[in-house]
Amino acid sequence: MELTPINAEPELVPKDLTTSNNSIQQLLDSTQMISHQLSQFLSTTVQINPQEDLVTQLSSIFRHQQQINQLQYSVSTANYMANIANFTRTKKLEGIILRGQQEIITLSKTITNLRATIQNLDMDVEAQRQEAQRLNSVLKDTQNVLNNAIIQYRKELDEQKRVLDSTAEKLDKLSQTRIKTDFLVDSGILFGCILLLRNSLTMTAVDSLSSFLPKKNRKYVERLIQLVTFIALFTRLRKFLLALGIHGGVGTVFSYLKAVTGLDIGKSIDNVNEFMKLPPRDFDRKLLK
């Protein structure tokens, strides 16, 4: 009986030794095929024909033994390559797991830091909110104090205004009284000066001073002498009474006219001077107003 040859050179290992699932599956398929061929070979019964040459039979047996050895070698090689592939895949998986663990630890630390940051931010926001509430309360208190101060200040201003109005009224009355007193004193001085000028002694002195002048101009000179004498006498008597305190110095011609007519003569004169200083065009415009 001639033994069936066995394919001793199956494709055991793929060309690309990677750790992918396809490569491992090819190794397993090759190992399974070799095992199936070996089981078939072992189940075959070898019968030696006495008519055949013993050497030929022995050669056939040795050839089959060589095929068995090759199959065992192929199985061992496939097993070894499968172990290498599994080891490589295991190491790669371990590296992936270690990197994943490190990334998980890093992410855990990052999450912890983010939580701490969020807590700090929450605390800062709460502190800022409390500070804003405090400042708002202080601002309201300050506004209330300011409003109360303004109200009190207005009351004091009104009171001061009433006091000033009352004082101004009293001063106005006092001024009117002093003006009346000065008017009476000036009137007395005026009448006294007139009486003195009408005195015979004064008239005689004036006539004696103008006697050397021509008759044509004597009358005007006498009037001038009387006027100068009146002004000098009135001024001297007024200063004397001012020194004694009898005359208050408040009464003037303008104040007397204002008291009598109700017009401010001094202000009217100032307005006239202001009008006179204006250019002609502005003067006409202001005059029309």
Maximum separation of any 2 CA atoms in the chain, in Å: 215
Q: For residues 145 and 155, what is the distance between their CA atoms, to the nearest angstrom?
A: 15
Report whether 77 contacts 12 (CB < 8 A). Answer: yes
Supply the pLDDT for residue 10: 43
Length of the chain measured in residues: 289
Residue 150: per-residue pLDDT:
92
Kindly report, residue by residue over 217-271, the tens digit of the pLDDT: 666 777 777 788 778 888 888 888 788 877 777 666 666 666 666 555 455 555 5
Q: Rounded to whole angstroms, how far apart are CA atoms 132 and 119?
A: 20
CA distance 289 to 285: 7
- Lowest-confidence segment of 4-13, 92-101, 178-187 by average pLDDT: 4-13
Q: Where are the domains of the chain?
A: 21-116, 165-288
Mean pLDDT for the chain overall = 72
Mean pLDDT within 131-155: 90
Give the pair of three-digit tokens for residue 205: 């002195």
What does the pLDDT read at residue 4?
Answer: 45
Contacts of 72 (CB under 8 A, 6+ apart): 38
pLDDT over 90 percentage in the chain:
5
For residue 228, how many other CB atoms are within 10 A of its CB?
A: 10
pLDDT confidence tier of residue 104, bands split at 50, 70 and 90: very high
Identify the CA nearest to 5 among candidates 37, 46, 49: 37
